Chains A and B, each alone.
Chain A
Amino acid sequence: MSALLEVAQLRTHFLTRAGVVKAVEGVSFTLERGEILGLVGESGSGKSVTGFSLIGLVDPPGRIVSGSIRFDGQELVGLAPDRMRALRGKRIAMVFQDPAATLNPVLTIGAQMALAVQAHGGGSERAARDLAARTLTRVGIPDAAARLDAYPHEFSGGMRQRVAIATALLHGPELIIADEPTTALDVSIQAQILAEMKQLAKQSGTALIWISHDLATVSSLADRVLVMYAGRIVESGPVASVLRAPLHPYTRGLLDSLPAMARPGEKLNQIPGSTPSLLSLPPGCPFAPRCPRATDICRSDPPVVTQPGRMALCHHPLEMAAA
């Protein structure tokens, strides 16, 4: 059987007043059924835009300019809007960052979930509410049937995110894209949601793309990790080996920036400089200006993928043996 998702040379650009923002520039990866993939990067790395590209919800003025997204063998780039809609929520679902903003404040939880149920095939209002209540119970909301008539503001942040997750789970999708779903939550609630998501994904065999800026979160959840920088995937591989022995200097720098990796009070091994503007990327490797290993070739020629299997987009990858 082929992979569930095959993304090849995806490019998503935003035509803004200031110029073309190349938010996603040549992203390729595959995702197996039931696999959990971590998509890690700092703000502006293109990780969220990648997620929205997959589900066909890039806001104008952004659009997919080229590349291919094959979902279960079907090409999604250029798919007719109504066929794309039929996939969304049914086979590919998405959970967003801020649960306070995603739920409609003036509709009850039950009404919103019923709309999501009925979006894919009729069914009675009654059946829709039953399904909603059952799914809410699955994500750990007690007394779900009674809470269908509550409004979002009557829930806590963690509970609202559970409602959003339940909405995504309604039709038993094959793929869930989760865009920083725990960033807006407290640590103790984040831990609850992470544990539940991991369990739900394993139980139902749903593939999960977990977009996050937090390496630690991804490391305890994902099977494989993709590290993004300036719209490109700079490194990918099984999560444990990437974190134990990163090939790309950026991944190394990211790990060294974590206070948890250093002795308290000691200076952190910081990456100098800041993320380049996506409007005017340097020729060659976009990380070169901040990279301790950069040489002339990095500044002139774009790097190519090295080390198949464990992939890194770098002229001078770190030695695997260094670990």
Chain B
Amino acid sequence: MSAILTAEHVTRRFSPRVTLGDRIAGLLGAKVDRRAVQAVTDVSLQVQQGETLGLVGESGCGKSTLGRMLAGILPPSEGAVRLSGASPMRGKHKTTTRIQTVFQDPNASLNPRIRIGDTIAEGPISHGLVTRANAPAMVAEWLSRVGLDPAFATRFPHQFSGGQRQRVAIARALAMQPEVLVCDEPVASLDVSIQAQILNLFLDLRQQLGLTCLFISHDLSVVRHVSDRVAVMYLGRIVEMGEAAKVYAAPRHPYTQGLLDSVPKLMLGGNEGLSFKPISGELPSPLSPPPGCAFNPRCPKATELCRRERPPLTAREDGTLVACHHA
């Protein structure tokens, strides 16, 4: 196995616009808020050929921003993203077609005024992957591969259900013949029964096409189901990364533990107790992350050391990477 997609010390900041007026106000002694939101901080990871890496975390943890950087949609502020050694972007613009994205909301990610056949075909045609004459045949093939009737090519998105639309979005991404597929919360907006259909489709296609995948989701059970390895993010950093089976069976980082404990389980034997254990406290503002370990204000194991020093992400004996002083 070799790494096909890598992130090297990737950081992404979103800085507020500081106007001339703000600067003058600053000179006059007024407090001007110039704190940048650091959505992703110093993340390094590798996605191996053929594997699925799950990226999991709560909202605002930076998983989507990281995903967009890895997909070549958003340039990193620092560090580098490489797809087989080369950057997927030139300046602010994506150049490669070898990595494609499936977005969260299929209602929003398909242009309502364009027939779905044209939506699927326009990328391949514009990059010369298919001729205009051969496009209908290619569209028909992809529609049937994602489980839709090829005759639907002339329909508009609003004529489909949510699950069918997500199938179209998957067909659009795969018609570009990518090596890597980034799925950004692809089932978050779908109902449970439809979610199962899309997950099954994803598993099928991944196997048939030998795809390498980055699978981003806030849903721990979904990530567990599809991923070989999993990375857990908290406040812009990876706190734990390793084989999915190991991380889920024996989480080391207190945040991973807390997160897994927070999820309500199906209670098949009455519910006198609670099937979950909440993490105390709230996510700190990303504008002013706490010093030391970002999780320390909510962590049951936090000590003076955690408040002072940020733990590095280090490998443990079984290969799992953990960023914690006490794990």
Contact = CB atoms under 8 A, between A and B. Distances in A.
Contacts of B218: 186-187
Interface stretch (B124-132, B190-198, B300-308): B190-198
B193 A187 contact: no
Interface string A183-217: 00011111110110010000000000000011111
B279 interface: yes
A275 interface: yes
A187 B220 contact: yes
Interface in B250-304: 258-259, 261-271, 274-280, 282-283
A267 interface: yes
B266 A216 contact: yes
Q: Chain B interface residue count: which class?
A: 35 or more
A253 interface: yes
Q: Chain A interface residue count: which class?
A: 35 or more
A42 interface: yes
Contact of B221 (A239, A260, A269): A260
A84 interface: no
A274 B161 contact: yes
A220 B199 contact: no
A220 B225 CA distance: 22
Contacts of A269: 196
Contacts of B200: 267-268, 270
Contacts of B122: none
Contacts of B261: 191
Interface in B180-206: 191-197, 199-200, 203-204
A284 to B, nearest CB: 20
Given A191-B279, A268-B200, A258 B221 contact: yes
Contacts of B197: 270-272
Given A257-B195, A268-B196, A156 B283 contact: yes
B267 A187 contact: no
Nearest to A272: B197
Given A159-B282, A216-B264, A194 B276 contact: yes
Nearest to B279: A188
B283 A220 contact: no
A37 B203 CA distance: 36
A187 B199 CA distance: 21
Contact of A187 (B191, B262, B269): B262
Nearest to A40: B192
Nearest to B260: A187
Given A186-B59, A253-B193, A220 B271 contact: yes
B193 to A, nearest CB: 4
What 7 A-B pairs come out closest when comparing CB atoms?
Answer: A191-B278, A257-B196, A259-B225, A42-B191, A220-B275, A191-B262, A186-B58
